[in-house]
Copies of this chain bind each other. A is one copy, B any other.
């Protein structure tokens, strides 16, 4: 790749020499000869003068600010993070899993592997499972009986795809994620402490025994879904837990049984969604957000980090806090709490003033 080729790929304006080699993108201070220095943040531009890179990617508005002679080619881009997506995409490598089936892998009878599938060491594919064309199963992956993985999938080491689960095309599952563990669902034969807490706010009954509700359903993930490391998506009770196309799920996220998540959602790190909740399309849940069971979140809602969603939320709004309310209201509460000390003081002063007006001694307030 040279600067001109990379410019075309990034849809960037090229200033300078198009024939310069353009290798791996790096921070300007870390770039070596042949690398591309990425300096879309204006603060990084001075580093170009001392760096070894001969090609730089900068923001369109900052071309003039590149030190003279610092590089041989400047690639000028608009939306920096989009340029970063294209740039990293150009240099991303797939995991080194050799095509075909590693001799140590165990493929049960009746499993079907598509064309160009790569299966790494110590992979187990259960009976009747189907792996789509060109999909890659890295080491130590397990695919349960009857599970289906679409074309162009990438299942990283140690990920678990439970029996009967369905993954669309272009799905990525990271290290040690769990798809298709049983839902967490128990019932007390008589009314228990949770029933009583919900009804009266008090504990008036005890959980003498816990009877298991089994998970007969599975998990269905749409196309282009990505699941983070050690994330857990549990089976449904009767039908499937469902995640829509293009939804991205970060590390250590929990999606409970029967949950339905729409398409193009972003569920950030350590988010937890309890059983039977319904999340719309293009919803963003920031890090550590919790969602209660059975609530509904509307399309395009955004919940700020750490928020606790206890009741259903309308779409196309930003929420924050626990219990989560509209962001403006949450911020207003935070600001009022900062002024609360003053309010206590004012009330104390007022009490004194009123007492004085009443003819009493203001000092005894």
Contacts and interface: CB of A to CB of B under 8 A. Distances in A.
A254 B272 CA distance: 14
Given A176-B158, A301-B203, A350-B351, A84 B318 contact: no
Nearest to A340: B336
Given A181-B175, A308-B306, A144 B95 contact: yes
Contact of A140 (B122, B251, B340): B122
B288 A202 contact: no
A254 B251 contact: yes
Given A202-B318, A203-B318, A305-B290, A106 B121 contact: yes
A152 interface: no
Interface residues of A, number: 131
A216 B92 CA distance: 6
A55 interface: no
A176 B230 contact: yes
A220 to B, nearest CB: 12
Contact of A193 (B174, B302, B336): B302
Interface stretch (A1-9, A20-28, A59-67, A68-76): A20-28
Contacts of A194: 266, 284, 302
Residue of A180, A202, A208, A229 with most partner-chain B CB within 10 A: A229
A318 B197 contact: yes
Given A82-B189, A216-B88, A340-B333, A351 B357 contact: no
Interface of A: prevailing SS: loop
A301 B194 CA distance: 10
Contacts of A89: 212, 214
A334 B341 contact: no
Contacts of A27: 238-239
B300 A305 contact: no
Contacts of A184: 228, 248, 250-251, 268-269
Contacts of A334: 323
Interface in A198-240: 201-203, 206-216, 226, 228-230, 232, 234, 237-239
A354 B355 CA distance: 10
A224 to B, nearest CB: 8
Interface of A: 24-27, 30, 38, 79, 81-82, 84-86, 88-89, 91-92, 95-96, 102, 104, 106, 120-122, 124, 126-127, 138-140, 142, 144-145, 156-158, 160, 162-163, 172, 174-176, 178, 180-182, 184, 186-187, 189, 193-194, 197, 201-203, 206-216, 226, 228-230, 232, 234, 237-239, 246, 248, 250-252, 254, 256, 264, 266, 268-270, 272, 274, 282, 284, 287-288, 290, 292, 300-302, 304-306, 308, 310, 316-318, 322-323, 327-328, 331-334, 336-337, 339-341, 343-344, 346-347, 350-351, 353-354, 357-358
8 contacts: A82-B211, A85-B213, A95-B163, A104-B104, A156-B181, A210-B266, A234-B251, A252-B254
